[in-house]
């Protein structure tokens, strides 16, 4: 099997748990995912099957969309509902102030990752260091928020819940947005709920829940859930002849007419099956990643 499963990860399991599920269902150890979701998050988790694992970098690095609920009026050590959570006893500002603060978070800006994150410094992982009672001096990184829409503001005894629709680039921490919103308003905030609605060109409306995958496996129809990875690669396409495909698969540069001056391309054979990814150098196509004739991709 070769391709991508658009999995609707439920709240609770880790992304690695979902990888283990697909390994069991497919019998293939070559299973990965494109973009981790925390246990408390749900939604689109692209699962890569077989040689599709080679394209994790390309599928992880695209734009993403989330529906997130930020709870104002408290802080969390983890910046999400995992906690511990501490109420701030500070009044949450009115709705126009919340809208104004969120509007300032659209665009390109420096964002500090959460203390409990997978970021590494000096070979040490932030969340492991934090759980040991220490912290890493993580540096802010540039992120891009393309759009942010407030869907709802609900005030209750537990706090004020602000639900947003967020479009953002790779590397953006929604937990950090929740934390920073609370700091900007002076009342504290953390991420109470998160659902990824789009990633790697996949939508949550089309995603398959784990129990559905189990049922398909029992019916001998699991292949129906595996999508061609070729359609999801965010790269321009180039088609080679059979002779050129042979050279490309053997690691040789291929001279192809009408190539761009530079950049990376998804490479296809005459039957429009994915062969791999190449980069343009000196008017020739240099192989980067190659699929060795494993059937439809």
**Interstrand relation of 263-268 and 237-239 (parallel, antiparallel or unpaired):** parallel
Task: Enumerate the H helices of 115-171 as residue ranges.
Answer: 126-131
- Cβ atoms within 10 Å, residue 124: 12
Nearest partner of 177 among 43, 69, 56, 17, judged by Cα: 69
Strands 263-268 and 31-33: unpaired
Is the separation of the CB atoms in 129 and 117 below 8 Å? no
Number of H helices, E strands in the chain: 7, 19
Q: Among residues 8, 38, 79, 80, which one is catalytic?
A: 38
Is 38 designated active site? yes
For residue 287, list its beta bridge partners: 278
The 10 Å Cβ neighbour count of residue 169 is: 15
Q: How far apart are CA 288 and CA 192, in angstroms?
A: 41
**Which distant-in-sequence residues (6+ apart) come within 8 Å of 117 by Cβ?**
126, 127, 138, 173, 175
Positions marked catalytic:
38
């Amino acid at each position: 099997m070769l391709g991508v499963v658009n999995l609707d990860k439920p709240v609770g399991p880790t992304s690695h748990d979902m990888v283990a599920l697909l390994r069991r269902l497919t019998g293939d150890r070559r299973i990965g995912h494109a973009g981790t979701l925390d246990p408390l998050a749900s939604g689109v988790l692209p699962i890569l099957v077989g040689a599709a694992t080679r394209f994790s970098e390309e599928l992880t690095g695209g734009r993403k969309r989330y529906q997130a609920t930020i709870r104002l009026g408290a802080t969390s050590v983890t910046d999400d509902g995992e906690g511990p959570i501490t109420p701030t006893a500070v009044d949450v500002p009115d709705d126009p102030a919340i809208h104004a603060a969120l509007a300032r978070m659209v665009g390109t800006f420096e964002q500090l990752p959460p203390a409990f994150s997978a970021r590494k410094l000096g070979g040490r992982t932030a969340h492991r260091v934090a759980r040991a009672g220490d912290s890493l001096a993580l540096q802010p990184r540039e992120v891009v928020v393309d759009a942010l829409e407030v869907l709802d503001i609900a005030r209750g005894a537990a706090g004020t819940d602000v639900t947003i629709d967020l479009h953002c680039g790779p590397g953006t921490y929604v937990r950090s947005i929740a934390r920073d919103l609370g700091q900007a308003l002076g009342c504290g905030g953390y991420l109470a709920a998160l659902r990824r609605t789009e990633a790697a060109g996949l939508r949550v409306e089309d995603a398959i829940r784990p129990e559905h995958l189990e049922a398909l496996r029992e019916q001998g129809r699991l292949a129906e859930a595996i999508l061609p990875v070729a359609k999801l690669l965010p790269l321009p396409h180039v088609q080679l002849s059979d002779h050129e495909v042979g050279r490309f698969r053997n690691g040789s540069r291929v001279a192809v007419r009408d190539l761009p001056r530079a950049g990376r391309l998804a490479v296809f054979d005459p039957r429009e099956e994915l062969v791999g990814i190449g980069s343009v150098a000196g008017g020739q196509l240099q192989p980067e990643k190659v699929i060795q004739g494993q059937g439809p991709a």
